Structure 1
Amino acid sequence: MITMPHQPSTVLFLCSGNYYRSRFAEHIFNTYIQDMSLSWIADSRGLIVDRLDSNLGPISRHALNGLAERGIPVPEPPRFPIQLLESDLAAANLVIALKEAEHRPMLTERFPQWSDHVEYWHIHDVDLALPTNALTALTREVTQLIQRLHTQTT
């Protein structure tokens, strides 16, 4: 009998442009989860990547700086933002939108059947919070998420 390797569960982080907050959360999660021997992996997408012209490259300098401060490398070359598709939502075991006031309306517009199946956090974008404050809050939320997932499996 051939046994197939176990696929890790996926948490999908969402933000508007998949440029700053969701990318930071993805990298923090994937680094921190390594020490927990949990079978989870993070990915990220943007809700309105196709409508934005403000992404100035593959990943925000704020995200890169925050990751560097925490000793977390970003694979080279970093990938560009990816637009969320319904198949991404269907494939994820857990979907987290990083700011409810901003992202619930976007989900309701684009994927109305999914908006109530998403966990919402309250992490401000750079227009409302300094990156150091937002990334500290995001690190705390990701750490709490990993602890919650660990508790659920033990």
Structure 2
Amino acid sequence: MMSLSKVLFLCTGNYYRSRYAEELFNHIAEAEGLGWRAFSRGAAERGSPNNIGPMSILALDRLQAKGIHPEGAARNPQPCSLADFGAARLVIALKEAEHRALIEHRFPTAAARVTYWHVDDVEFAPPSVALAMIDKHVRDLIAALPSVDHPVTR
């Protein structure tokens, strides 16, 4: 069996943006037969106590509207560990202004590996805007992915 390359999506609490990116990426990658798989984590040590359920209903609703049945919908948010960086070929944080300092503080030896997008959380951008941005970023990422046999270049 072929070994899959992995992309790690990070947001603050692993509840909304990173979970949506993970599920969308995996759906597209599987449909296109790519040798890639996504997983997601939270850059913070713990998520918000205001989160209800294992995954944001906003992300779930958007995925279901696209006909995507999220594989990880029942999984609780998970904080990132240094080992997660080691497991990933690519690491993407969803909002540079929000996540860069947090990642540099918690994971100084791995922080240089992170690519940053600029997708606001729900308090600053409605899901119709933020999730549409993630849709575009994920599709652009998939179009630019190297094959499993070739190294990632920056």
Length-normalised TM-score, structure 2: 0.90
Structure 2 partner of 1:135: 131
2:114 is the counterpart of 1:118: yes
SS at 1:50 equivalent: coil
- Per-residue deviation, residues 3-25 of structure 1 (Å, max 9, x unmatched): xx221000000000100000000
SS at 2:133 equivalent: helix
Contact 2:19 2:55 in 1 (8 A): yes
Root-mean-square deviation (CA), in Å?
A: 1.5
Structure 2 partner of 1:67: 63
2:32 is the counterpart of 1:32: no
1:61-100 alignment runs, 5 A limit: 61-75=57-71, 78-100=74-96
Structure that is richer in helix per residue? 1
- Mapped partners of 2:35, 2:71: distance in 1: 21
Partner AA of 1:35 in structure 2:
A
- Mapped partners of 2:76, 2:35: distance in 1: 26
Residues 116, 143 of structure 1: alpha-carbon distance in 2 compared, 3 angstrom cutoff: same
Q: Which of 35, 40, 43 lines up with 1:44 in the alignment?
A: 40
Residues 74, 139 of structure 1: alpha-carbon distance in 2 compared, 3 angstrom cutoff: same
Q: Give the unaligned 5+ runs of structure 2.
A: none
Stretch of structure 1 that moved more, 72-81 or 26-35 = 72-81
- Per-residue deviation, residues 27-62 of structure 1 (Å, max 9, x unmatched): 000001123221000000001152531221100011
Q: Give the unaligned 5+ runs of structure 1.
A: none
- Per-residue deviation, residues 67-99 of structure 1 (Å, max 9, x unmatched): 011111123761000010000011111000000
- Mapped partners of 2:109, 2:72: distance in 1: 36
Superposed structure 1 runs of 4+ greater than 3 Å apart? none
Structure 1 partner of 2:102: 106
Residues 20, 49 of structure 1: alpha-carbon distance in 2 compared, 3 angstrom cutoff: farther
Give the number of equivalent residue pairs. Answer: 148
Residues 92, 52 of structure 1: alpha-carbon distance in 2 compared, 3 angstrom cutoff: same
Bigger radius of gyration: 1
Q: Structure 1 vs Structure 2: percent identity of aligned residues? A: 44
